[in-house]
Structure 1
Amino acid sequence: MEFRDLKAQYNKYKKEIDSAIQEVINNTNFIGGKEVNVLEQRLAEYVGVKHCITCANGTEAMTLLMMAWDIKEGDAVFVPDFTFFSTGEIVSLRGATPIFVDVDRDTFNTDTTKLEKAINKVLDEGKLTPKVIIPVDLFGLPADHMEIEKIAKKYNLRVLEDAAQGFGGSINGKKTCSFGDAATTSFFPAKPLGCYGDGGAIFTNDDALAELLNSLKVHGKGDNKYDNVRIGINSRLDSIQAAVLNVKLTAFIEHELEDVNRVYKLYTEKLKGVVETPIIPEGYVSSFAQYTIKLKNKEERDALQAKLKEEGVPSMIYYTKPMHKQSAFAEFDYGDNNFEVTNELCDTVLSLPMHPYLSEEEANKVCRVLCKTLKVIKNE
């Protein structure tokens, strides 16, 4: 059993993927080929925004926005404490200060009440200037973007939606990657929409921002790549990855999002009353980058993971360490008092196999082994 079965996906679309890759090779347009333009147009249309700017990976997508918005030393950027390292990393890379915010226990996403408190704390201290909020659509579930946008407007802050794990999710029909002033996603292979290497994209309705980003991602180019009008970076999605993504985007739209939610419903029905299963608020759709359960404590979580492994059921822990405890951020001395939920989650979460190609038989096996194992653990 695979945790995220990319082999099954490839086998289903082998002919289309192989043909798309071969066409790029035949045309030898490896950088900036037509496949990239087609992909950007399709992604923008799917998400419902004017512009999609592809780039080398999801981390650089966020970095490019930090550059475009001139985020620098003395600025404060608000980031959830329970997320992958890169969301805070791109802030420090620019010399700015990441302000970590505890998350909601049910959704794993930014706690908006604590977010506003964090903003006011920074304002009261007067040492930093609040500039940006980065809500993360963790595990495929959109953050509380409506409330976050209200807070951002109140304090005149920009919003960068980090939808690295959230592509395909929605709130009342409005797709992830369409919230905030701009949004980013990742095409890392294990993401809801993944390529066969690294890749990322930025989404925005801002014409001037899109023009600036298209310059920054190619060495700050002007009219052409040898006319450099600003300092930029080299961050382009290559044509082979775009070709793969064009095939996968069709599959994602046609059935993968629906199929992964089928697995979610099956898991949740079988595990109800056994463990704490993911909570999806009314009107929300998750793309389920992960299906994450909560156990009673670290000992139970670790014992369950070990037993599952013995039975051939893979599982992962996202995340074992909060952002505020990462050594790379030690200089900020965040303390431990304001992160009660994140600290608990790092000790109790466990993610189960989750992908559109997980069969009912496999999902039933996961549930059967999990229920049996927990019964044994509790009786030991």
Structure 2
Amino acid sequence: MMKVPLLDLKGQYATIRDEALRVTSEIYDSQMFILGPHVETLEQEIARYTQSRYAVGVSSGTDALLVSLMAAGIEPGHRVLTTPYTFFATAGVIARVGAIPVFVDIEPDTFNMDMAALAKTIDELPKAARAQCKAVIPVHLYGQCADMDPLLELAGQHNLVVIEDAAQAIGSEYKDRRAGAMGDFGCFSFFPSKNLGAFGDGGMVTVQSKERYERVQILRVHGSHPKYYHSFIGGNFRLDALQAAIVSIKLKHLDAWTEKRRQNAGTYRKLFEAAGLTEQVRLPADVMSRHIYNQFVISVPERRDDLVAFLREQEVGVEIYYPVPLHLQKCFAYLGYQEGDFPVSEHAAAHTLALPIYPELSQDQLAYVVESIAAFYKQE
């Protein structure tokens, strides 16, 4: 039996350990832990990398979404469109500013927002509710961009602010445009498990407008400008210098790590085909310019939970993203959605699982994952 964890960051750390220790030691000596030159450097680097005009370092991917909604002027009673098949923060931040999440179903292959469903959802809203629709949050799920051209066209028609949830998608591309640079705001997470992860929480907001960039900067420090003078209320959304320095080190390796993830995805496809598993397992769609494979998510027609349990017995790390779509979460019961309202999202929640895809996986480990899945189906 071979052990294949879902993610193992120790191998990655070994490649940057000396530089990480050096730069963190410098920060300890300086005692400058909040914002400062390391954060400013990372902001410039992320702006360049994502092809954005500006970038603002913040405390987490969740706070990136939250501060973007605040900067966009989203207020209680406003409606914000997004998908119910995503990490909780995407809709949670909408509720936290007092706005109302309006859910839109997903595509069955990419798991990203279905643009025909988006148009239909907007058209079918009562006139008063449609007038309160102020923003849309497309999620570039698992490292692949949503279909942005029709979304941007709809957003223009209905005067919607576009906030890209690119928490899992740094470096992913749509028609040669980078995630986070197509909408009004782009939101990134540096949670350690992300392709570009810190040694703790951290995030970034990319912005295309100078006015909104300056507003995010002010909101990041409690709405203070100049210091101790508050024209509006913000929050404590500052990025630590230590986290910025680590992310800056890792950014230099990101493209190489991404290419290895893409190679691993290609290896998986060959192995699944060679094992004759293409009917039992539906592999991730790879339809946009550059899928960065933050996750490698497969779909199985039945007995998903049995397969998960079997793989864990074989010491293969797997995870279910996400077992309960947001419209069925207890905390969103007040929205009035019912089971069956978003059938594609519900199907994805019941039939998908993520396999290890990180860059340091060996060919033997990839083969063992597929062999273990084959063994599960042979025992039936």
Range of TM-score over shorter length: over 0.9
Equivalent position to 1:304, from 299, 302, 307: 307
- The offset of 1:238, in angstroms, is 0.4
- Hey, what does 1:366 align to over in structure 2? 369
- The 5 Å alignment of 1:25-40 reads 25-40=28-43
How far residue 32 of structure 1 moved from its aligned partner, in angstroms, is 1.6
- 1:165 pairs with 2:171: no
The 1-side partners of 2:269 and 2:127 are apart by 44
Letter in 1 for 2:259: E
The residue type paired with residue 235 of structure 2 is I
Name the structure 2 match of 1:226.
228
Q: Any residues of structure 2 matched to 1:201-212 within 5 Å, and which?
A: 201-212=204-215
CA distance in 1, matches of 2:130, 2:24: 52
- 1:212-361 paired onto structure 2 within 5 Å: 212-223=215-226, 225-253=227-255, 255-272=256-273, 273=278, 274-281=280-287, 283-297=288-302, 300-361=303-364
Of 318-327 and 66-75, more deviation after overlay is shown by: 66-75
What's the CA shift string for 1:298-348, capped at 9, x where partnerless?
xx1111111111111010000100110011111111123331111111110
| Alignment-derived partner of residue 131 in structure 1 | 134
Query: How many Å separate the matches in 2 of 1:143 and 1:8?
Result: 31
Indicate the residue corresponding to 2:25 in structure 1: 22
How far does residue 4 in structure 1 lie from its aligned partner after superposition? 1.5
Task: Give the counterpart letter for 1:294 in structure 2.
Answer: S
Asked if 1:55 corresponds to 2:58, the answer is: yes
Q: Which amino acid aligns with 2:269?
A: T
> Could you tell me how far apart the structure 1 residues matched to 2:93 and 2:282 are?
33
Amino-acid identity (%): 33
Question: 1:122–1:130: 8 Å Cα contact kept in structure 2?
Answer: no
Q: Taking structure 1 as the reference length, what is the TM-score of the superposition?
A: 0.95
Deviation of 1:181 (Å): 1.0
Distance (whole Å) between structure 1 residues aligned to residue 334 and residue 130 of structure 2: 16
1:6 aligns with 2:9: yes
Q: Aligned equivalents of 2:215 and 2:75: distance in 1?
A: 17
Q: Assess if the C-alpha contact under 8 Å between 1:123 and 1:129 holds in 2.
A: no
In structure 1, C-alpha distance between the alignment counterparts of 2:208 and 2:79, rounded to whole Å: 24
Contact 2:340 2:346 (8 Å CA) reproduced: no
AA matched with 1:159? V
Aligned with residue 175 of structure 1, among 175, 178, 181: 178
Gaps of 5+ in 1: none
**Is the 1:74–1:128 Cα contact (8 Å) retained in structure 2?**
no
Contact 2:72 2:161 in 1 (8 A): no
Task: Tell me, in whole angstroms, the C-alpha distance in 2 between the residues paired with 1:331 and 1:348.
Answer: 26
Which has the higher mean CA deviation after the structures are superposed, 71-80 or 202-211?
Answer: 71-80
Check conservation: 1:122, 1:128, Cα contact below 8 A.
no
- Work out the CA distance in 2 between the residues paired with 1:79 and 1:188: 22
The 2-side partners of 1:97 and 1:122 are apart by 13
Q: Give the corresponding residue for 2:44.
A: 41
Cα distance, 1:126 vs. partner? Answer: 4.0
Gapped regions of structure 2 (runs ≥ 5): none
CA distance in 2, matches of 1:337, 1:308: 30
2:79 aligns to what SS in structure 1? Answer: strand
The CA distance in 2 between the partners of 1:168 and 1:374, in whole Å, is 36
User: CA contact under 8 A between 1:171 and 1:284: conserved in structure 2?
Assistant: yes
Q: Return the offset for 1:187.
A: 0.6
Contact between 1:79 and 1:98, CA under 8 Å: does it hold in 2?
A: yes
Q: Look up the SS of the partner of 1:287 in the other structure.
A: coil
The letter of the residue matching 1:287 is I
Q: Give the aligned partner of residue 75 of structure 1.
A: 78
Instruction: Decide which of 182, 185, 188 is 2:188's aligned counterpart.
Output: 185
Q: Deviations over 1:60-86 (max 9, x none)?
A: 111111111221222110011111111
1:195 aligned counterpart, secondary structure: coil
Letter in 2 for 1:242: A
Q: Distance in 2 between matches of 1:126 and 1:89?
A: 20
Supply the AA of the counterpart residue of 2:290. V
- For residues 250-269 of structure 1, give each alpha carbon's deviation from its aligned partner in whole angstroms, at most 9, with x where no partner exists: 1103x111111011101112
DSSP-derived class of the 1:284 partner: coil
1:229 Cα shift?
Answer: 2.7
Q: 2:202 aligns with which of 193, 196, 199?
A: 199
Cα distance in 2 for residues equivalent to 1:356 and 1:55: 27
